[in-house]
Structure 1
Amino acid sequence: MIENSIDAEQYTYENTCHTVEEAASAAHVSPNDIVKSICLIDNDGNLIVAIVRGKDRVSTSRVAKALNIEIPQIATPEEVLDKTGYICGGVPSFGYEAIFLIDPKVMENELIYTGGGSPYSLTKISTKVLHQINKGQIVRVRK
């Protein structure tokens, strides 16, 4: 973030932020302020990241329709680490090569908290900055 002058703040906590509830509790915010980066793999091995509010679930069929592809598979923890450089439970919504899809409900918030690179950290970032840096498509991907 510093190297690329990204306007965001990273926080590290003593307790894990692996679940939405844990993240919201640690940051003292609503679960609607937390976003998840759900990593998917298409038939060609490309990484797709569907970004949804913490309580929402990703529809793989909506992802497929948005990208005009076959239904992608949820990435394994090994694929997530290999493709993003981060372990499951701490994957940020930016900062690596992927096709990013941002659910419109995420964009209703001015600020959100996303994975901070580890299960013990979060990154606070504006949705406008997030959209600019990951060049995400805003498309409904939630169920």
Structure 2
Amino acid sequence: MEQHQHADALPDSAQRVANLLSELKHDKPVVMLSSAGRTSAEAAAGLGCSVAEIAKSIIFRRLSDDAPVLVIASGSNRVDEAKVAAQVGPLGKADAKFVREKTGYVIGGVCPIGHAVKPVMLLDQDLFRYDSVWAAAGHPHAVFNLTAQQLQAMTGAPVADVALVPVAPVESIPQAN
């Protein structure tokens, strides 16, 4: 497996993900990008794929119990907090300290698996439009490739509509006569 050949080249957090993927019998290696993939656009540019093929991990804080809520969304989608809250309960913002404590990862490198505290999860239905997607592998420069089906199998996350649908400006809506 390629993961073992590159083992000493990976930062500790990315190596932890590589080990988890190996345990899960995942056949794709963790790939290090030459520049950070902190945003979906940066990751897509580094990988030569579309922004929509980036499976971004967004962490929220559930207000009722302070639980981490992980939404794995297509990189081209903005997450609709109201849609997520309707499924998991009222949400608050998760700051960098909360993200690090609850996931074990830094913002920009939050992997969908291997969290310090098991998060409440939702998986964006739009990810299933693509043959494969790229997810963060525990470090802002580290990613791995998989299918949306594999992502669902690894996480057990329910598939949901989480995308914010852009509202058309008022002047572009046709007027009824």
In the alignment, which residue of structure 2 is the partner of 1:13? 33
After superposition, the C-alpha distances for 1:58-97 in whole angstroms (9 at most, x for unaligned) are 1111111122x2x211211111111111000011122221
Where does structure 2 lack aligned partners over 5 or more consecutive residues? 1-20, 165-177
Question: Which one has the bigger strand percentage?
Answer: 1
Distance 2:95 2:60 in 1: 9
TM-score by length of 1: 0.92
| Aligned equivalent of 2:55, options 20, 35, 44 | 35
| Aligned equivalent of 1:51, options 72, 75, 79 | 72
RMSD: 1.3
1:86 aligns to 2:102 (yes or no): no
Distance 1:61 1:98 in 2: 18
Q: Secondary structure in 1 aligned to 2:121?
A: strand
Query: What is the aligned length?
Result: 141
Identity percentage over the alignment?
24
In the alignment, which residue of structure 2 is the partner of 1:73? 92
Distance 1:78 1:107 in 2: 31
Question: Which one has the bigger helix percentage?
Answer: 2
After superposition, the C-alpha distances for 1:90-130 in whole angstroms (9 at most, x for unaligned) are 11122221111011111222310011111111111111111
After superposition, the C-alpha distances for 1:20-46 in whole angstroms (9 at most, x for unaligned) are 121011111111111211101112011
In the alignment, which residue of structure 1 is the partner of 2:84? 63
Whether the 8 Å CA contact 1:35–1:51 is kept in 2: the answer is yes
- TM-fit CA distance, 1:135: 0.5
Runs of 4+ aligned structure 1 residues displaced above 6 Å come to none
Larger Cα-atom Rg? 2
Whether the 8 Å CA contact 1:93–1:115 is kept in 2: the answer is yes
